[in-house]
Chain A
Amino acid sequence: MNNLNYFLILGFIIFSCSSKPTEEKINSDFYKISEINLPLDDSTALDFIRTSYLFDNDTEFLYHQNEFKKSIQVYNLDLETLEKEIKYPFTPPLGINMVQGILVITSDSIFIFPTLTVRGSLLINGSGEVLNRYMPPREKSIEESLVNHISFGSMPTLLSKGKLRFIQLPMFELSNPANINDEFKFEVSYDIEANTLEFVEESGFPSFYQNKIWAGGDLQVSRIEDDFERVIYSWKYLDSLSYFLDGQEFKIFGGSKFKNAEIKPFSMIPEQEKKGKALIENPKYYGIYYDPFRKLYYRTFQIPGIYDQDAIPNEMDAKKQFSVIVLDKDFKIIKEVVFPGGIYNVYRAFVGKKGFYLPKNNILNPELRENNLFIDVFDFTQDEKN
């Protein structure tokens, strides 16, 4: 065999063995329409974990609970300024020492939720005066009274038909497959008028998860309510989105074209390292968001990362690329836009008048500055306007 033939055959083998061509990635920059620069004072950290967006009087605001100052900061996103700070009561028993999340309904109706419980949640006005304090009845035991609700990020607390709907995460042993059953409900609903708490029946583990062993950190659900009063659930490992109408479940495909493998449970309780590897390398969906201004749904998908046993887990996570799947009002996938890893903080995304807002406070962002929070704004209908 002469050399030319040898290289041709070798080349053929190499090309045919390479993995299937990756899906075409749409560049996120194409949809970027603006950047917001919020100046942060010496007492404001860059994390911006507990936030709530408000569009009021044709102006955009981002409310941020500042744990250090025990205040709620109101940032005007149009003027890029801190408009005001609202001090809330933080001394127990009437105040909230540890805030879990906030929900802004109007500039004069701001809910503040304490950690691990619904009891003691406050409604304050724009001056920080307490309008109401919510005290659902105590359960018999402390354990039963605990509600490990999240109330921020892709698991916000919603106000719907006079009820506050919280997403809670389990506090039992997640590596025991017998615990992954239909008994635990991820949503807790508090009826403000009736002063009662109840679990939302539809929010149990989907059958796909049940009686199996998973990496605990991935057992979460995101959900939103749209303009049609549908509460839509997005589970981390499921391609489908689901909602319930008159007790009947509807499932819609909302999967990523970049998902390259099906998720498999562990066959036995994994060691810590295997769990960590799964958390980094599993493809998964993070949040579901509704854009009432465009009647669109956005679902974020985290593209699998590379596990390195010597690396710091949250840095491996921060490096991961992610995509935003855009669905229209009929849940038809319109497009999927990929974002680079190490720049945006997918856990802090929110929706506003101008589109999809992505803070750039990713811990690996080389341009991170502690005194400024930069937020890029994306309009995924940008190409339809041209």
Chain B
Amino acid sequence: MKKISILLLIILLGCKPTASNFEKYGSIIGFDTDTPTLIVSLENCQYCFSVFKESIQELEGKKINVVIISAQEKKANLLAKVDGKSIFIDNKKEGLKLGLIESLPVLFFPGQKKETIETPDELVDLIQKYVQ
């Protein structure tokens, strides 16, 4: 009986869902994964700064997290003022290591739906539809 209980415990623990990479990322960077989250990498997207700068600044006041992957703090702050509340910096490039983003910005919605953003207009459309 004792053996069966141990086996059951192992199975139960084994079946416990592991945190997704996005949830892991949330806990590393410190943002709430139940809020829509935009991840922008300035490390491997040369054009992201100039292309998305204006549309990212328009996100101010919306209920959305913005995570800027950049080893350079000054550069990240030129894109959007990092405040640790809704605008975060990932200077250790954890988002790239976890495979959450390749190059273009990505928007994560609660429930893990992920959209790759190709143009600023697309970002504005998605924000208008899904973000308060």
Contact = CB atoms under 8 A, between A and B. Distances in A.
Contacts, number: 38
Q: Which of B74, B75, B96, B97 counts the most A-chain CB atoms under 10 A from its CB?
A: B74
Interface string B79-104: 00000000000000100110000000
Interface residues of B, number: 17
B71 A363 contact: yes
Interface string B88-124: 0000010011000000000000000000000000000
Contacts of A371: 74
Interface in A269-318: 310, 312-314
A312 B46 contact: no
Contacts of B74: 42, 45-46, 370-371
Interface string A349-386: 00000000000000100000011000000000000000
A58 B47 CA distance: 35
A370 B78 contact: no
B46 A45 contact: no
Contacts of B96: 312
Secondary structure type dominating chain B contacts:
helix
Contact of A68 (B46, B72, B78): B78
Nearest to B76: A45
Contacts of B71: 363
B43 interface: yes
A98 B97 contact: no
Contacts of A47: 75
B43 A370 contact: no
Interface string A47-68: 1010000000000000000011
B44 A313 contact: yes
B44 A45 contact: no
Contacts of B46: 49
Contact of B75 (A45, A115, A310, A314): A45
A314 B72 contact: no
Interface string B25-66: 000000000000000000110110111010000000000000
Interface of B: 43-44, 46-47, 49-51, 53, 71-75, 78, 93, 96-97
Interface of A: 42-43, 45-47, 49, 67-68, 98-99, 115, 310, 312-314, 363, 370-371
